[in-house]
């Protein structure tokens, strides 16, 4: 084959790849759209795909077919752009209320702080609190990583903020599902879920994962000074407040449990967080932070990473203190001693 022929073949192959990706995206956008009734969306997505493939297979004038396909794709994109997030849905009970924070001087009052009593993952007593915290008493921020299944690469990230006196407020960025709606990674890329910042008692969001979902959960003290911790906490609360006024879609790559607080850390700290693939494969986030000297604020600092990590697994310990009002303090009593 001549160089010209090879170039032409590569061009045709690249064009075919681009068109295939556009078709796949369009079909998924139709399926995950705001049209009611999942069977209808499935049928429309399937018919759209069949129509496009048939047109390319049966029509002889490929150039005209490509033009019409691009027009149809533009129409799907224009429709998809019009889909907006909403606060008015039939929410699942665990995400039915959005938290809100009101700042008065150095005090912050949080409304709808979640503190559920769990009997199983699906059986719980809904309970929200209104509590006031003194920001001057905010001393620490811990990183919580929760793993499910055998996947080491992906984890759910929770930040837990510790106050003098033992109170802990956990912040968990999650999808906000409707009743009966399950999580879908693909769906999260196509405006399927709104985002919620859950502000909760630490025992709520941690025990849900350790005791009832049986996940592997690690808790690491960070090495951030109190001033930086307060900036991050305040910014997180302001982000949560913004969602009350303007809902936002959750996105598995752009706005998730890791990227949300990385952006906040950048704003609070006044400088960019250097990109690393472990910000996406967030199951290794603790390793990244350890290398950057952001973990750990205890006597395991300087140990080989895997040795340090193994000493911060709290799954079994957390199960010992189910429902204990002093859950946070008792779990930490089993961890390496924090260095002041």
Query: What is the full per-residue pLDDT of the chain (340 aa) written as tens digits?
Result: 687 777 878 888 898 999 999 999 999 999 999 888 889 999 999 999 999 999 999 888 888 999 999 999 999 999 999 999 999 999 999 999 999 999 999 999 999 999 999 999 999 999 999 999 999 999 999 999 999 988 899 999 999 999 998 999 999 999 999 998 888 888 888 999 999 999 999 999 999 999 999 999 999 999 888 888 999 999 999 999 999 999 999 987 776 667 666 766 665 556 677 788 888 888 999 999 999 888 998 999 999 999 999 999 999 999 999 889 999 999 999 999 998 7
What Rg do the C-alpha atoms of the chain give, in angstroms?
A: 24
Instruction: Report domain extents, the chain.
Output: 3-81, 93-332
Q: Please state, in angstroms and rounded to a whole number, the distance separating the CA atoms of residues 285 and 280.
A: 9
pLDDT at 229: 92
Q: Please state, in angstroms and rounded to a whole number, the distance separating the CA atoms of residues 27 and 172.
A: 32
Q: Which residues contact 188 (CB under 8 A, 6 or more apart)?
A: 175, 250, 251, 252, 256
Q: What is the DSSP letter of 198?
A: E
- Residue 20 in 3-state DSSP? helix
Q: Which residues contact 53 (CB under 8 A, 6 or more apart)?
A: 23
pLDDT at 244: 94
**Number of helices (H), then strands (E), in the chain:** 11, 10
pLDDT at 36: 87
Give the N- to C-terminal CA distance of the chain in Å, as an integer.
70
* Region for 112 from its dihedrals, namely left if φ exceeds 0, alpha if ψ lies in -120 to 50, beta otherwise: left
């Amino acid at each position: 084959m001549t160089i010209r022929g090879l170039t032409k073949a590569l061009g045709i192959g690249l064009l075919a790849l681009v068109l295939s990706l556009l078709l796949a995206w369009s079909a998924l956008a139709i399926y995950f759209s705001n049209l009611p009734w999942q069977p209808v969306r499935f049928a429309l997505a399937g018919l759209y795909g069949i129509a496009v493939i048939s047109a390319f297979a049966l029509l002889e004038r490929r150039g005209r077919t490509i033009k019409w396909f691009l027009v149809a794709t533009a129409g799907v994109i224009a429709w998809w752009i019009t889909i907006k997030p909403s606060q008015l849905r039939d929410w699942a009970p665990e995400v039915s209320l959005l938290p809100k924070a009101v700042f008065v001087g150095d005090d912050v009052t949080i409304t709808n702080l979640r503190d559920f009593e769990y009997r199983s993952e699906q059986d719980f007593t809904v309970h929200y609190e209104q509590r006031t915290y003194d920001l001057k008493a905010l001393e620490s921020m811990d990183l919580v990583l929760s793993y499910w299944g055998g996947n080491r690469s992906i984890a759910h990230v929770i930040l837990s903020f510790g106050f003098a006196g033992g109170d802990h407020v956990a912040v968990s960025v999650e999808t906000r599902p409707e009743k009966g709606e399950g999580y879908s990674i693909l769906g999260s890329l196509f405006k399927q879920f709104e985002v919620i910042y859950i502000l909760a008692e630490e025992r709520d969001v941690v025990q849900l994962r350790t005791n009832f979902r049986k996940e592997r959960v690690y808790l690491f003290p960070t090495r951030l000074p109190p001033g930086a911790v307060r900036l991050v906490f305040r910014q997180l609360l302001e982000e949560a407040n913004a969602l009350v006024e303007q809902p936002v879609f959750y996105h598995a790559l752009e706005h998730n449990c890791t990227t949300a607080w990385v952006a906040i850390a950048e704003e609070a700290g006044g400088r960019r967080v250097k990109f690393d693939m472990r910000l996406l494969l967030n199951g290794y986030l603790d390793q990244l932070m350890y290398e950057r000297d952001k973990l750990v604020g205890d006597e395991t600092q300087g140990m080989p990473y895997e040795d340090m990590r193994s000493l911060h697994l709290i799954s079994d310990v957390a199960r010992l203190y189910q429902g204990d009002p002093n859950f946070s303090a008792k779990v930490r009593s089993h961890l390496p001693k924090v260095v002041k």
